Structure 1
Amino acid sequence: MSNINSSFNHKKYRAYPSIPKTDRRWPDQSIKAAPLWCSVDLRDGNQALIEPMSPSQKLDMFKLLVDVGFKEIEVGFPAASAPDFDFVRQLIEQDLIPDDVTIQVLTQAREPLIARSFAALKGAKKAIVHLYNSTSTVQREQVFKKSRDEIKTLAIQGARWMQEFAAAQSETKWSFQYSPESFTGTEREYALEVCNAVINVWQPTPDNKVIINLPSTVETSTPNVYADQIEWICDNISHRQSVSISLHTHNDRGCGVAASELGVLAGADRIEGTLLGNGERTGNMDIVTMAMNIYSQGIDPKLDFSDMDRIIATIERCTQLAVHPRHPYAGELVFAAFSGSHQDAINKCMAIDAAQRIEKPETQWQVAYLPIDPRDLGRTYQQVIRINSQSGKGGVAYILEQDYGIQMPRWMQVDFSPHVQQHAERSESEVSATIIHDIFSSTYLAAQKTASIDNYQLNRQSNADSLEAQILDTNNGAVTINGQGKGVLDAFVKGLSASIGSDIVLIDYSEHALPSKKGAENEQAEAIAYVQLSVQGARYCAAAKCHDIVTASLQAVLNAVTRSGATCQRSKAELAAV
């Protein structure tokens, strides 16, 4: 493609500089415990919505965040808007904040805004006031047109004003937080200089820490560079034991989660983000994804996402943003397997897992294609195997077993799969469990409507069993089958062979009890039998259900014969009687 007169021109950009760091340690670290989480859904997430949340939606979101387990929640920017101010007041005045939860508000480093923020927090038991001002090169030079010293002075003065207002409201336990906005667009030595200046004002102690938040306001580098920046700050910041290093990454390059994870390896203590990543432009760091990544490594994330459907429903209702079906952990299809080979592997692995957990409930999860157990998020196994034209016999068999208790033997799975495949290709859509069951019934059970076992008499002898069975055939009326063989099925097959005048061979047979239906605990369990016959050299499969396993077995054989197109003929005696 020609670049002549094209606006797509990579030469207008420059590479983000790497850090010449020879002592980096974070690549050899691993996450061993969850960081402290702070949700910014009600502030950063809310300001990114086309239609900001209503008061009732905000309250629903706050309650969800509390239920999930957040101990720090940024509830708004009360100095920026009346709705945010009123919401903070509602939480405090109606005593809606649990004792173990600390609310946080954001403010710029301007005295009237700081005053308004403290007014909003009047009467709070404890609160974090989050102070920020932009320190980046482009903001200083092109937006504010201020020098480094002027920007640093603004941060210092903001920190002093916060101290003064906090002293005037001593009934509240205050925590202070500072963000050099656009930290990743700021020279790191200068960012450190400003942060240390603010820390020097606040004079934190190990028992009364301050939070230094290092935002990737616009993601501009690979996550490893961000990790280098965080490790460098951790190594050089003053009062490190009295400072909680916090990260606030955005997702412009699609690496917000990765940047935060590597930042934790580099020494960060705290993470700010939103549930499912809603935020400015491409979004904030997705706390669900990062927390579940930690969970999948056998570490308690200190957040509870076991009711994922409720979480998604609340977020979609409050933000009016749909969750992508492939969103990590939360999407409708993230645990779904359509591929036949994937379904077969999942089916086999889950059968092994279920068997192992009977004896050892603490068995570690090892299932192909599923990084975590979907049940941990409130998802059912019915949502794992999804059937379309790409699916195979294992997935179809799994659906029938999970939803209907039908445990098709493998030879029937092979026979049945093409029937579902043909339906999927014709419909060009996903095939539901109900439709799969309908196809199974019409393929293997429907023959019972044209020819059925009425009754039978079995005479067991030492050398051979003798069977007499009465069949009701819609075409030929009542037909009696007589046969002898080694067992009831052998006798019936031989009797059928004589009746239809064709060579019939029983190839395979399987049977099992079906699960009892709800409300039918005292009734006899229904059984299902599966057979594969050879009729004149061609193979036919069929199945049948009945409370009597012998009747089910005989009917399955009869269904297979009916599928072959053969019909039972009346004997001369029966014809004479008619």
Structure 2
Amino acid sequence: MAPPLYTPNQIPDPSYVRLLDTTLRDGDQAPGASMTPSQKLDVARLLSSLGVDVIEAGFPASSPNEFEAVRTIAREVGNHPMSPDSDHVPVICASARCTKRDIDVAWEAVREGRWPRVVTFIATSDMHLEHKLRKTREEVVKSATEMVKYVRSLGCQDVGFAAEDAARSDRKFLSHVFEEVIKAGATTITVTDTVGCTLPFEFGELITYLKSNTKGIENVIISTHCHNDIGLSTANTLAGVLAGARQVEVTINGIGERAGNAALEEVVMAMKSRKEVLGGLHTGINSVHILAASKMVSEYTGFHLQPHKAIVGINAFRHESGIHQDGVLKFRKTYEFLSPEDIGLTDVSRIVLGKHSGRHALKSRLKELGYDVNGSELESLFERFIKVAESKKNISDDDIKALITSNHTQSQVKWTLGDVQVTNGTNGSSNGKEEKIFQKCSENLLATATI
């Protein structure tokens, strides 16, 4: 489903959830993950093809190169559809601290896009106020409201405000900050779990509290920004959406500061596959491009995925257990909840042969390779296969073919070595021990393949 017509602080469809992808900002901040400007442009194009509503293109004030990268994305991706099947053009946004310099640079970087947005942020937890900002609560409120007004004064009609460390902030104070920035002109407010410490029920309760206790909140979009320090970023994001948030901030492959962010592929596929449980909530993402985006980001950052990574890991749609393999071969959905085709994976080899595999899986692979093996021959082959699998992790098709060849060789008629005469001396006389008879009636002396 294509994203609806964009209005900064409104979404006509109450069940529609906007996706803000921050791979190019928060993801790029992961240690060792930085991308070149041309790589960022490639990723932005693919994000647009995915149907991402908002692309957070970077933090322009951090360097001249970053500024140019964001501006290029705004000019190219922020004005032209990247998919021939859609006229979708994403919002291009840039982050800025609550300072005029940061905001000026951010606005200059995105202003040429069709839908430019500037997101300004400041911490709201007492810990950050005391130890990092050295500011009072009153000073934080003043800075936040003045800078939101300043963004609007530049001509930017789409202003985001993010409360850093919101999850550990005093709720009454957090609500007060949001009230003031809404009055100042913010169109989206972001509730962050900056250190990824929240449990899903806590994060959901926080969104519910803010909705009930923040004046004017019905006039803006509530956004979530969850980190993954205890592995709950996706769960917290979904809890926030169920509580009323209508924008989620995610990254491809979940990359980001420390343990990363909520993963786009996980949030999207959770909502796509459990739509009925989530009350019909949905996104505008064309999920068939997910795998391509995952591979591109992995290649550009050098961050290789865990084999068991949800949705996009190499093992996400593969099975080695004999019981599972038997079920999948009979009916795929017995052990596959999701369809690999939904993320663009069309050439998946679901059955992985290993020491846990059963006869059914081996026979299926043999059939794929053109061999029709049954009965005692299959039993013999399976016994030898298990011995090999116990000493070798990865069983290839070549290994299977070698087993077949070896199995056929062993079934052939054995040959017998009969009369052997050994003579010694120039006259050919025997010393009494030279003549020996060797019978090898049951031993196969042909060489077999080494697996």
Q: Is TM (by shorter chain) over 0.5?
A: yes
Give SS of 1:252's match: coil
Q: Which residue of 1 aligns with 2:115?
A: 126
Q: Tell me which of 85, 88, 93 is aligned to 2:70.
A: 88
**Conservation of the 8 A alpha-carbon contact between 2:195 and 2:227:** yes
Q: Tell me which of 383, 400, 407 is aligned to 1:418.
A: 383
The alpha carbon displacement at 1:62 in A equals: 1.0
From the superposition, tell whether residues 255 and 412 of structure 1 become closer, same or farther in structure 2 (CA, over 3 Å): farther
Q: Please list the CA deviations of residues 464-506 of structure 1 after superposition, one character each: whole Å capped at 9, or x if unmatched.
A: xxxxxxxxx999xxxxxxxxxxxxxxxxxxxxxxxxxxxxxxx
**Conservation of the 8 A alpha-carbon contact between 2:325 and 2:351:** yes
The alpha carbon displacement at 1:162 in A equals: 0.9
Give SS of 2:191's match: strand
C-alpha separation in 2, matches of 1:413 and 1:312: 40
From the superposition, tell whether residues 418 and 81 of structure 1 become closer, same or farther in structure 2 (CA, over 3 Å): same
Give SS of 2:161's match: strand
Point out which structure has higher relative CO (alpha carbons under 8 A, 6+ apart). Answer: 2
C-alpha separation in 1, matches of 2:46 and 2:31: 18
1:363-374 mapped onto 2 (5 Å cutoff):
367-374=333-340
Q: Which residue of 1 aligns with 2:341?
A: 375
Give SS of 1:41's match: coil
**Conservation of the 8 A alpha-carbon contact between 2:179 and 2:217:** no
Give SS of 2:25's match: helix
Q: Please list the CA deviations of residues 506-544 of structure 1 after superposition, one character each: whole Å capped at 9, or x if unmatched.
A: xxxxxxxxxxxxxxxxxxxxxxxxxxxxxxxxxxxxxxx
**Conservation of the 8 A alpha-carbon contact between 2:317 and 2:348:** no
Give 1:75's aligned amino acid. Answer: A
Q: Does 1:156 align with 2:121?
A: no
C-alpha separation in 2, matches of 1:378 and 1:259: 26
**Conservation of the 8 A alpha-carbon contact between 1:49 and 1:319:** no
| TM-score in terms of structure 2 length | 0.81
Q: Which residue of 2 aligns with 1:392?
A: 358
C-alpha separation in 1, matches of 2:283 and 2:402: 43
Q: How many residues align?
A: 395
C-alpha separation in 2, matches of 1:409 and 1:564: 25
Q: Please list the CA deviations of residues 23-70 of structure 1 after superposition, one character each: whole Å capped at 9, or x if unmatched.
A: xxxxxxxxx955210100011111224252111211121122112221
**Conservation of the 8 A alpha-carbon contact between 1:292 and 1:301:** no
Give SS of 1:213's match: strand
Q: Which residue of 1 aligns with 2:255?
A: 278
Q: Does 1:429 align with 2:393?
A: yes
Q: Does 1:104 align with 2:93?
A: yes
Q: Which residue of 2 aligns with 1:232?
A: 209
Give SS of 1:166's match: coil
**Conservation of the 8 A alpha-carbon contact between 2:48 and 2:77:** no
**Conservation of the 8 A alpha-carbon contact between 1:289 and 1:328:** yes
Q: Does 1:201 align with 2:176?
A: no
The alpha carbon displacement at 1:340 in A equals: 1.5
The alpha carbon displacement at 1:81 in A equals: 1.7
Q: Does 1:443 align with 2:407?
A: yes
When structure 1 is superposed on structure 2, of 309-318 and 185-194 the one drifting more is 309-318
**Conservation of the 8 A alpha-carbon contact between 2:23 and 2:255:** yes
Q: Does 1:145 align with 2:134?
A: yes
From the superposition, tell whether residues 95 and 68 of structure 1 become closer, same or farther in structure 2 (CA, over 3 Å): closer
Give 2:205's aligned amino acid. Answer: D
**Conservation of the 8 A alpha-carbon contact between 2:146 and 2:184:** no
**Conservation of the 8 A alpha-carbon contact between 2:57 and 2:94:** yes
Q: Does 1:262 align with 2:251?
A: no
Give SS of 2:61's match: coil
Listed as ranges, the gaps of 5+ residues in structure 2 are 1-13, 82-88, 417-441, 445-451
C-alpha separation in 1, matches of 2:179 and 2:376: 72
Identity of aligned residues (%): 25
Aligned-pair Cα RMSD in Å = 2.7
Give 1:152's aligned amino acid. Answer: V
When structure 1 is superposed on structure 2, of 138-147 and 308-317 the one drifting more is 308-317
Q: Tell me which of 210, 216, 219 is aligned to 2:193.
A: 216
**Conservation of the 8 A alpha-carbon contact between 1:61 and 1:318:** no
Q: Tell me which of 144, 150, 170 is aligned to 1:187.
A: 170
C-alpha separation in 1, matches of 2:178 and 2:375: 67
Give 1:435's aligned amino acid. Answer: D
**Conservation of the 8 A alpha-carbon contact between 2:208 and 2:244:** yes
From the superposition, tell whether residues 325 and 221 of structure 1 become closer, same or farther in structure 2 (CA, over 3 Å): same
CA radius of gyration, larger in: 1
**Conservation of the 8 A alpha-carbon contact between 1:118 and 1:166:** no
Q: Tell me which of 59, 67, 81 is aligned to 2:49.
A: 67
Q: Does 1:319 align with 2:298?
A: no
| TM-score in terms of structure 1 length | 0.64
**Conservation of the 8 A alpha-carbon contact between 2:23 and 2:250:** yes
Give SS of 2:189's match: strand
Give the number of the structure whose residues are more often strand, by fraction.
1
**Conservation of the 8 A alpha-carbon contact between 2:251 and 2:261:** yes
Q: Please list the CA deviations of residues 537-557 of structure 1 after superposition, one character each: whole Å capped at 9, or x if unmatched.
A: xxxxxxxxxxxxxxxxxxxxx
C-alpha separation in 2, matches of 1:62 and 1:381: 26
**Conservation of the 8 A alpha-carbon contact between 2:318 and 2:350:** yes
Q: Tell me which of 304, 312, 330 is aligned to 1:348.
A: 330
Give SS of 1:133's match: strand
When structure 1 is superposed on structure 2, of 291-300 and 243-252 the one drifting more is 291-300
**Conservation of the 8 A alpha-carbon contact between 2:44 and 2:77:** no
When structure 1 is superposed on structure 2, of 382-391 and 243-252 the one drifting more is 382-391
Q: Does 1:175 align with 2:150?
A: no
Give SS of 1:376's match: helix
